[in-house]
Structure 1
Amino acid sequence: MSFKIAIIGAGSVGFTKKLFTDILCVPEFRDVEFALTDLSERNLQMIKSILDRVVEFNRLPTKVTATTDRRAALEGARYIISCVRVGGLEAYADDIRIPLKYGIDQCVGDTICAGGILYGQRNIPVILDFCKDILEVAEPGAKFLNYANPMAMNTWAAIEYGRVDTVGLCHGVQHGADQIAEVLGAKSRTDLDYVCSGINHQTWFIDLRLNGRKIGKDELVAAFEAHPVYSQQEKLRIDVLKRFGVYSTESNGHLSEYLPWYRKRPDEITRWIDMSDWIHGETGGYLRYSTETRNWFETEFPQFLESAARPIDPAKRSNEHASHILEALETNRVYRGHFNVKNNGIITNLPQDAIVESPGFVDRFGINMASGITLPEACAATCISSINVQRMSVHAAISGDIDLLKLAVLHDPLVGAVSTPEEVWQMVDEMVVAQARWLPQYADAVPAAKERLSKSRIKTREWAGAARRDVRSIEELRAEKTALKQAV
């Protein structure tokens, strides 16, 4: 088979390499063309060097091109994969730093909450530019696979306003299922059958079966509490399981910032998180991790390049959905996964215009979603709170209505648990002014926001958060990796 796959934001080096090698695990895809595009010429050339090394070592006919001209990369593409982070780490740092001044402590800040909403404002205009190019120059009927966060907002905008065939992809469901399989003592992840449904980063394992035997709440709670690692790392998640009766896909840190109960006071934050790794609730944890990963790659690039000269092993193909979806569409080998699409009857007790994440099957006829799923009422209520924020955020990003943006932030569960309306109004002004270069739709609102900030008397504080860690140096990272190798 010969067709073209464009990857936007291909400078996300580790993730791009994973998608690339996954796709090349499919024997029929040896002749495909990968067109990489990114704003950074330097990053493009680094990732192209790595992928070229993979192709050369494995003696494949696969073609890899790289260009900062997005339309050229998209021209004739059948599949477009987005991994973009608009504003990069510079804007992301403000997503964490500015809300902290108003007492809002985020672990990740890329889905909802103050950081995730502003992230969406930066991304959505760019997503719509992608969609315009896809409609104009890509292969007719091209499919857009969005991996970028905020997943629901980006996918919502691409479907409703971009009018492109879009599916949002995440790996939270797979990671949660792996945990459940481990605590239940499954010999293989295939022993566990499950139905997981909800919205991205708030999906719920509403049906669990181990080798055909249904697993109930009490058994699952006991299994997690008995696990020597997860019992400490997932304290908040286990508490939600006890109260809601079902397990959430998202990590301790992610889940904590979508709810109004666990991160609203510093002493509560430290009670529910675990500092063994960033993902379990550390303040700004993903920002620190992303910064360290970037610094490590830039310093250790020769090592990454050398490690690319290895055989592609289909047995090590990851559980990221993209390669499996392409395989099913092109070869008709059926694939079952969990995908982000417009609701339209998939989940009966969530709004029909929402982007939901739920089970589906893929074959040559497309992505076919299972419909008629009803969530437990508490799960639906929690999802609806986020959906209302997502809807307002998308509409604000499209219209450039700063008042609607403030209302979206005000209705965010964690923001509402921490901040007053006056504080929210000032915080949004401050974030829009700080990120103005990435927010063209708010250009007319920036001067008035600056004027309001110059007259404001609302007090803020310089606060690192309840559980902040410093970015580690390359030397510290190297020492840690050496110690881990020696321990093994």
Structure 2
Amino acid sequence: MTFKVTFIGAGSIGFTRGLLRDLLSVPEFKGINVSFTDINQDNLEMVTKLCQRDIHENGLNIKIQATTDRREALTGARYIFNVVRIGGLSAFEKDIEIPLKYGVDQCVGDTLSAGGIMYGQRGIAAMLEICKDIREVAEENCLLLNYANPMAMLTWACNKYGGVRTIGLCHGVQGGHRQIANVLGKKKEEVDIVCAGINHQTWYIKVSHEGKDMTDQLLSAFENHPEYSKTEKVRIDMLRRFGYYSTESNGHLSEYVPWYRKRPEEIKDWIDLGTWINGETGGYLRVCTEGRNWFQTDFPNWLKDPALEYTSENRSEEHGSYILEGLETGRVYRGHFNVVNNGVITNLPDDAIIEAPGYVDRNGINMPVVGDLPLGCAAVCNVSISVQRLAVEAAVTADDQLLRQAMMMDPLVGAVCNPKEIWQMVDELLVALEEWLPQYEDAIRDAKVRLKSSELLPTKEYRGAARLEVKSVEEMARNRNEANKNAGEADKAKERPARDVKNSVPLL
């Protein structure tokens, strides 16, 4: 088979190298055309060298087309993988640090809450430009596979305003599936699931083994598990109160709802510092920073390490390659995908981006009707959908009033901040992130005036309730294998090694 696959944001080593391995593990795909593009020439060159070495070591005759010219990379593409981080770690740091001044303590900040909303403003502006290029130069009716966050917001904007057929892909469902099998004492393949909701708030509404429903056994199993009872307290509490386990990690989930991170003195009761994903303040920013620093420093050694092997045994659980395999070969694949609802989940809005089970074959991506979510689960999702809708419309129309309303409606921001604080926080975020928000030129100009001339509300110098220091390259070098996994894996919480928490900043 010959068709073209393009990676946008290919300088992201965590996704690009692994997804390429997955694709080229499909026997029929040994002769496809591959194109990489990124705005960072150095990162693009490093990742291309590493992936081209992998290709050569696996005996394939594929030459990666690597270019900073996005339109050139997209020309003729049938499939496009989007793995961008708009604004990079510089913008990400502002997403975390500025809200902290107002008491908004985030673990991740890339999906909802103040950080996720601002990430969406940057991402949507960029994605609409990318979609324009796709419409003009890519293969007609091509498919955009979006791995970038905020997943629902970007996928919503690309489908509604970008004019490009877009599906959002995430590994959250697979991770929770492994946990559920673990607490039930089963192998993952022995436990069947139906998981439905919205990205990062997807609920395991059916869990069965050999046809027997096991859902009512989950709470006791998680409460008595020696590890998860300590590391997944938020998820277990949500299971206790809503009746269903949620896909997202303890740290992620804690920042999507108003109950677990609103009082600094209580945050420590709900999280665990053994690994970042369990709730550490700014945890994802820290591990991403460490991964970037390590890859840039240790890159020459990566070229000396064994190449990735393109075999079915080494293929990951990421959905992307299996979707392409189903569409091109007809082999049926079942996964959980982020798509426009259109009646799949009957008590969520039709225009929202939902995550639900789907099947892929030569006939396309097919989404069976799930029906109603349990009422409480739907209520949690609908609150987040309202935030997403406001944020998407704000980014597209450059309406900073809608942006501020999205912040007010956000569960965590609303639990911590009053309206005046939210207005001032948004002003600060707009000005600090000006470089990546071209659509907000007028709003940013007005915000600058207010921040200079108005009597400002007091804020605080605050590091967060549970902060760990960024490891130095020297510290990471003591365990190179762990450092390589952090830098090279898309799912940076799949393996959760114990961490010495002596460097934890004291609770403030």
Tell whether the structures are fold-level matches, with TM greater than 0.5.
yes
SS in 2 for 1:307: coil
Q: CA deviation at 1:210?
A: 1.6
Question: Which amino acid in 2 is paired with 1:221?
Answer: L
Query: After superposition, what is the alpha-carbon deviation per residue over 1:374-402, rounded to whole angstroms, capped at 9, x for unaligned?
Result: 11111100000000000000000001111
Taking the aligned partners of 2:444 and 2:226, their CA distance within structure 1 comes to 51
Q: Does 1:162 align with 2:178?
A: no
Contact 1:53–1:308 under 8 Å retained in 2: no
Query: Does the 8 A contact of 2:5 with 2:77 survive in 1?
Result: yes
Q: CA deviation at 1:189?
A: 1.6
The Cα shift of 1:482 comes to: 7.2
Give the equivalent residue in structure 1 for 2:403.
Answer: 405
Say if 1:31 and 1:63, in contact at 8 Å, map to a contact too. no
Which position in structure 1 is the counterpart of 2:258?
260
- What's 2:71 paired with? 71
Q: CA 1:310 to 1:91, structure 2 compared with 1: closer, same or farther past 3 Å?
A: closer
1:450 lines up with 2:479 in the alignment: no
Q: 1:310 & 1:169 partners in 2: Cα distance?
A: 23
For residues 192-216 of structure 1, the C-alpha deviation after alignment (integer angstroms, 9 at most, x for no partner) is 1110000000000000002322103
2:270 aligned partner, one-letter code: W
Task: Report if aligned partners of 1:51, 1:308 keep a CA contact under 8 Å in 2.
Answer: no
Distance in 2 (alpha carbons) for counterparts of 1:484 and 1:226:
32
Is 1:479 the counterpart of 2:478? The answer is yes
Question: What letter is aligned with 1:462?
Answer: E
Q: 2:487 aligns to what?
A: none
Q: What letter matches 1:34 in structure 2?
A: V
Q: Which letter does structure 1 place at the counterpart of 2:272?
A: D
| Structure 2 gaps, min length 5 | 485-497, 499-508
| Counterparts of residues 364-443 of structure 1 (less than 5 Å) | 364-443=362-441
Within a 5 Å distance, the mapping from 1:2-21 to structure 2 comes to 2-21=2-21
Residues in 2 aligned to 1:274 and 1:468: alpha-carbon distance in whole angstroms: 11
Correspondent of 1:355 among 338, 353, 356: 353
1:310 positional shift: 4.5
SS, match of residue 344 in structure 2: coil
* Inter-partner Cα distance in structure 2 for 1:250 and 1:468: 21
Equivalent-residue separation in structure 2 for 1:111 and 1:389 (angstroms):
11
Preserved contact between residue 57 and residue 309 of structure 1 (Cα < 8 Å):
yes
Q: How does 1:316-327 map onto structure 2 within 5 Å?
A: 316-327=314-325
1:245 alignment partner in structure 2: 243
Give the TM-score, by structure 1 length: 0.97
Mapped partners of 2:12, 2:167: distance in 1: 20
Which residue in the other structure is 1:81 paired with? Answer: 81
1:97 aligns with 2:97: yes
Q: Tell me how far 1:365 sits from its aligned partner.
A: 1.1
- 1:24-67 Cα deviation digits (max 9, x unpaired): 11000000111000001111110110111111111102231100
The answer (yes or no) to whether the contact 2:105–2:261 under 8 Å persists in 1 is yes
Does structure 2 retain, via aligned residues, the 8 Å contact 1:196–1:358? yes
Question: Aligned partner of 2:164: which letter?
Answer: V
Matched with 1:49 is 49
Letter in 2 for 1:387: I
1:132 match: 132
Structure 2 partner of 1:198: 197
Q: Counterpart of 1:312 in structure 2: which amino acid? A: Y
Inter-partner Cα distance in structure 2 for 1:456 and 1:427:
14
2-side partners of 1:144 and 1:336: how far apart? 19
Residues in 2 aligned to 1:444 and 1:90: alpha-carbon distance in whole angstroms: 23
SS, match of residue 447 in structure 2: helix
1:266-305 to structure 2, matched below 5 A, reads 266-305=264-303
* DSSP 3-state at the match of 2:221: helix
Query: Which 5+ residue runs of structure 1 have no aligned equivalent?
Result: none
Give the letter for the 1:353 counterpart.
D
Question: Which residue identity does 1:201 align to in structure 2?
Answer: H
Whole-angstrom CA distance in 2 between matches of 1:20 and 1:307: 18
Q: Quick check: 1:50–1:308 contact (8 Å CA) kept in 2?
A: no
373-382 or 449-458, larger mean C-alpha shift: 449-458
Q: Tell me by how many angstroms 1:308 deviates.
A: 4.8
Greater CA deviation, 58-67 or 306-315?
306-315
Question: What is the one-letter code of the residue matched to 1:98?
Answer: I
The amino acid of 1:468's aligned partner reads R
- 2:207 maps to what in 1? 208
One-letter code aligned to 2:445: P
Structure 1 range deviating more: 363-372 or 420-429: 363-372
Moved more, 404-413 or 302-311: 302-311
| Amino acid in structure 2 at the alignment position of 1:105 | D
Q: Within 5 Å, which residues of 2 pair with 1:25-36?
A: 25-36=25-36
User: What code does the residue aligned with 1:477 have?
Assistant: M
Distance 2:456 2:155 in 1: 38
CA displacement 1:103-129 (0-9 Å, x = unmatched):
000000000100000000001011111
Report how far residue 444 of structure 1 moved: 1.2
Contact map agreement 1:131 1:162 (CA 8 A) in 2: yes
Number of residues of Structure 1 aligned to a counterpart in Structure 2: 485
User: Structure 1 residues 445, 245: CA separation in 2 closer, same or farther (over 3 Å shift)?
Assistant: same
